[in-house]
Structure 1
Amino acid sequence: MYQQKYDVIVAGGGTAGIAAALSSSRAKAKVLLIEKNSYVGGTAASGLPFIDFFNRDGRQIVAGIAEELMKQLFREKAALKHIRTSGGHLNSVTMIDPEWLKIIAEEMLLESGCDILYHSFVCGAKVENDTLSSITVANKNGLTKFQADCFIDTTGDGDLAKFSGARYHQGRERDGLCQAMSLLFKLGDVDVERTTALFSENPVVACPVGGDHEYNLHISGKLSKWNDIVKKDEIFPHPDHNIWAGTMRQNELTYVNTVRVSEKNGADAYELSEAEIEGRAQLKKVIYFLNKYVPGLEKAHITSIPNGIGVRETRRIDGEYVLTGKDVIEGRKFEDRIARNGYCIDIHDPKGQGWGISRIQSQDQSYDIPYRCIVPVRIDNLLVAGRCISTTSEALASTRIMPSCMALGQAAGIAAALSANKKIAPRKLNVEEIQNILKKSGALI
């Protein structure tokens, strides 16, 4: 089944990797997708909802493969409809069943003809004359070399790009610290209506799968009313701690986002291990607190924890263009655009002291992401997609959401297939040709 040489190899099977592998395979490239876990999905497999397919005016900003995946989940009753929101920092929420997403995304990839190699990760790269020619993959078989005409780094952390010698930056510019991490978890035996009624900062109302009426499906708020308890029990180091959660089925919170681990480097194996340990220790305290003090969660228990803490920021590859916070806020448009985004700048303080947002100020409340952001300087036969693209730390706080990552992955997959077919470096491609294919594929650019 597996070959040693492919047209395109995609490293990382998260949301960006799924879209990259699908679009490249559909463009008639022979594709290998390499994933460290036993499933595809990445952050989406944690239960985190897809946010901001739409801008604040209700206009859809992202479609293409991301929307195709949602529609398949809708058909199989594995996701709720897109739900417009108001009053908070989100423009829309799309609740998903993470286990079904793993299944559906895998089916789509296999139907396209893509090969998938699980339990494997890139650990080395061969670069000659600034051109990436092969990678080394580690798994139970040992070390294996794979060749390709073009590679796509969708590892999130820019691992392949780093091994290839690509230049990169990490964390915020003044001190290198990255945004805080979050360990998500799912809870069962939840009285969802009682719990969600306590938090109304950003109400999301719909009927869950299997439900018989609509009610508030989302928690977006603070634990301020329990500040004394949080301080006494040393659950969190700061008052007014945030909590986000949501459900798509009765009697469960499909995801809860409140555990926060700060001042750790998610691209360092040692610090990442420390973050995982700290996150679970914090989680234990959180569960005891929720059971004892939060109405509707008295009987709640953990039904799953994702395979890895959620990392918001690590390496950002130096590309031919660096997207800035100013570009995001001003809603800048680019001739070589390959994706759009309408999400705010959402920064989780690297020292764990809360979070803050900055909204897009342009009339259409969206901005373009140019092709140059996914093309590393100097290294050829390599593209990047997802949260490791070329941005400032501030801009990353907007581009890192899953619909945006999928839009970038779809564009990278098309570009990689063209590069492999034409036998030219990705940086030399005609961007207009990529844009035309994206439009025909249902992408919104």
Structure 2
Amino acid sequence: MYRQKYDVIVAGGGTAGIAAALSAARSGAHVLLIEKNAYAGGTAASGLPFVDFFNRNGRQVVAGVAEELMNRLFQEKASLGHIRTSGGHLNSVTMIDPEWVKIIAEEMLLESGCDILYHTFVCAAEVEGNCLKSIVAANKNGLTEFHAGCFIDTTGDGDLAKFAGAKYHQGRESDGLCQAMSLLFKLGDVDVERATALFSENPIKACPVGGDHEYNLHISGKLTNWNDIILKEEIFPHPDHNIWAGTMRENELTYVNTIRVSEKNGADAYELSEAEIEGRRQLKKVIRFLNKHVPGMEKAHITSIQNGIGIRETRRIDGEYVLTGQDIIEGRRFEDCIARNGYCIDIHDPKGQGWGVSRIQSEEQSYDIPYRCIVPERIDHLLVAGRCISTTAEALASTRIMPSCMALGQAAGTAAAMAAEQGQVPRNLDIKHLQAVLKKDGAVIE
């Protein structure tokens, strides 16, 4: 039976939201997770692999709830486990079965005692002074008001924080444009061994589920060999188009990432709708191109399309600290560290003209994310986690990956439960105590 007042309410059931709700509930809080889809999992339920649990030195920099989810998927033969890589921009890849993510994430949430409300999204918030008091959620029942001691925005787009009046920035500083979006899709009847042999950049070798030997399970490269065809048939507007894809099972590509939709605002309903339409328009051309021209994909067919285009960047909430690209490049350490990350700065050009990376230059090959980045500048009883935390556009290009989002969600959930129990505003929490609890729960913060 759902109630209308909780200790902690988490808005958004993607990777950050799963970790936030789990951590808050395991800390003893009564938790409600609100999710717009019919399942939890977000981007992980699209088939996109988890990347960079490890830094370039081979040290694991994300664990805790994220590692627990991976272990449970592995037990169900729904993950190949962590595969260390060499060369390229990735330090590790963890292939996952997106349908099992939906099952396992939901099981974990229910085991924790968390209430889950699907087909629901936040559409308004009530703030008194600078304190967030309640939210309004919309679903088939109409509009319902919910109260909580602390709220966590894990919507990705900072929707709840925006409705609460938090300040934010969006897009790159020069023109406000956000990174390009991608519509992921799954292909069946693919000769993966043959197809991936064409893209030899940093092969990632493992034995797929159902296979009897190891081979490259990952495509990472450009469609340069087909530039003439791509430009002639107007599949993409630029040559040397990027493609990434990978699998954990025989005869399928669990995800393909090559569609690129640029110059659209993913936090605007009208532009987001246009982006969805454009993504499927490109997909029709892409599958015909793959069938006709790429060996190993002659019989490939679409078995599923991501439930909503993948958005890399929208709102970034103004927090008590703004993490910068320089912080990442230098591998900065912070006294109020709540999560670590070893992923590069990975920018998909907002105008759709390619992709590039900048690597961490510190000896440790990783950096800290401080607690202040998840605390909005002036709104109390609210935390943010996932890709809407307080960063510059450049820094977001590193912090937005799923393991980082789960680490941030775990920290936010633990902090929210503490704040609700103590009747305290999150910005005034004892950071040393929070860090001690995170370490006890398996998080990597040192």
Query: What is the TM-score when the length of structure 2 is the normalising length?
Result: 1.00
SS in 1 for 2:96: coil
Q: Distance in 2 between matches of 1:27 and 1:90?
A: 33
Q: How much does 1:202 deviate?
A: 2.0
Deviations 1:313-343 (A, max 9, x none): 0000000000000000000000000000000
1:27 matched to which residue of 2? Answer: 27
Q: Aligned ranges for residues 54-65 of structure 1 at < 5 Å?
A: 54-65=54-65
2:217 matched to which residue of 1? Answer: 217
SS in 1 for 2:18: helix
Q: Distance in 2 between matches of 1:442 and 1:365?
A: 20
User: Which amino acid in 2 is paired with 1:378?
Assistant: R
1:394 matched to which residue of 2? Answer: 394
Q: Aligned ranges for residues 358-377 of structure 1 at < 5 Å?
A: 358-377=358-377
Q: Distance in 1 between matches of 2:347 and 2:306?
A: 22
2:281 matched to which residue of 1? Answer: 281
Query: What is the TM-score when the length of structure 1 is the normalising length?
Result: 1.00
1:226 matched to which residue of 2? Answer: 226
Q: How much does 1:392 deviate?
A: 0.1
User: Which amino acid in 2 is paired with 1:364?
Assistant: E
Q: How much does 1:153 deviate?
A: 0.1
Q: How much does 1:418 deviate?
A: 0.3
User: Which amino acid in 1 is paired with 2:374?
Assistant: I
Q: Distance in 2 between matches of 1:257 and 1:443?
A: 30
Q: How much does 1:57 deviate?
A: 1.2
Q: How much does 1:112 deviate?
A: 0.2
Q: Aligned ranges for residues 324-363 of structure 1 at < 5 Å?
A: 324-363=324-363
User: Which amino acid in 1 is paired with 2:53?
Assistant: F
Q: Distance in 2 between matches of 1:418 and 1:211?
A: 47
Q: Distance in 1 between matches of 2:130 and 2:61?
A: 36
Q: Which is further off, 78-87 or 23-32?
A: 78-87
2:302 matched to which residue of 1? Answer: 302
SS in 2 for 1:80: strand
Q: Distance in 1 between matches of 2:359 and 2:342?
A: 9
Q: Distance in 2 between matches of 1:278 and 1:40?
A: 26
Q: Distance in 2 between matches of 1:371 and 1:404?
A: 13
Q: Distance in 1 between matches of 2:160 and 2:170?
A: 15
1:140 matched to which residue of 2? Answer: 140
Deviations 1:30-58 (A, max 9, x none): 00000000000000000000000000111
User: Which amino acid in 2 is paired with 1:210?
Assistant: G
Q: Distance in 2 between matches of 1:365 and 1:209?
A: 32
Q: Aligned ranges for residues 42-61 of structure 1 at < 5 Å?
A: 42-61=42-61
User: Which amino acid in 2 is paired with 1:80?
Assistant: L
Q: How much does 1:210 deviate?
A: 1.3
2:109 matched to which residue of 1? Answer: 109
2:379 matched to which residue of 1? Answer: 379
2:444 matched to which residue of 1? Answer: 444
SS in 2 for 1:211: coil
Q: Distance in 2 between matches of 1:174 and 1:432?
A: 38
Deviations 1:399-444 (A, max 9, x none): 0000000000000000000000000100000111110000000111
Deviations 1:238-276 (A, max 9, x none): 000000000000000000000000000000000000000
Q: Distance in 2 between matches of 1:126 and 1:228?
A: 56
Q: How much does 1:81 deviate?
A: 1.6
User: Which amino acid in 2 is paired with 1:345?
Assistant: I
User: Which amino acid in 1 is paired with 2:423?
Assistant: K
2:156 matched to which residue of 1? Answer: 156
Q: Distance in 2 between matches of 1:202 and 1:374?
A: 35
Identity of aligned residues (%): 83
2:187 matched to which residue of 1? Answer: 187
Q: Distance in 1 between matches of 2:63 and 2:429?
A: 23
1:10 matched to which residue of 2? Answer: 10
Q: How much does 1:23 deviate?
A: 0.3
Q: Which is further off, 196-205 or 402-411?
A: 196-205
SS in 1 for 2:80: coil
User: Which amino acid in 2 is paired with 1:28?
Assistant: G
Q: Distance in 1 between matches of 2:393 and 2:150?
A: 27
SS in 2 for 1:70: helix
Q: Aligned ranges for residues 248-267 of structure 1 at < 5 Å?
A: 248-267=248-267
Q: Distance in 2 between matches of 1:214 and 1:224?
A: 27
Q: Distance in 2 between matches of 1:338 and 1:56?
A: 20
Task: Give the paired residue count.
Answer: 445
User: Which amino acid in 2 is paired with 1:374?
Assistant: I
Deviations 1:203-225 (A, max 9, x none): 10001111111110000000000
Structure 2: tracts of 5 or more residues without a match: none
Q: Distance in 1 between matches of 2:13 and 2:202?
A: 31
User: Which amino acid in 2 is paired with 1:140?
Assistant: K
> What is the root-mean-square deviation in Å for CA atoms of aligned residues?
0.4
Q: Does 1:208 align with 2:221?
A: no
Q: Distance in 2 between matches of 1:80 and 1:201?
A: 20
Q: Distance in 1 between matches of 2:232 and 2:10?
A: 48
1:429 matched to which residue of 2? Answer: 429
Deviations 1:54-97 (A, max 9, x none): 00111101000000000000111000020011111000000000
2:176 matched to which residue of 1? Answer: 176
1:91 matched to which residue of 2? Answer: 91
Q: Distance in 2 between matches of 1:174 and 1:165?
A: 24
Q: How much does 1:368 deviate?
A: 0.0
Q: Distance in 2 between matches of 1:152 and 1:202?
A: 38
Q: Distance in 1 between matches of 2:75 and 2:46?
A: 21
SS in 1 for 2:239: coil
SS in 2 for 1:82: strand
SS in 1 for 2:438: helix
Q: Distance in 1 between matches of 2:200 and 2:19?
A: 34
Deviations 1:111-136 (A, max 9, x none): 00000000000000000011000000
Q: Distance in 2 between matches of 1:377 and 1:189?
A: 51
Deviations 1:167-216 (A, max 9, x none): 00000011100000000000000000000000011210001111111110
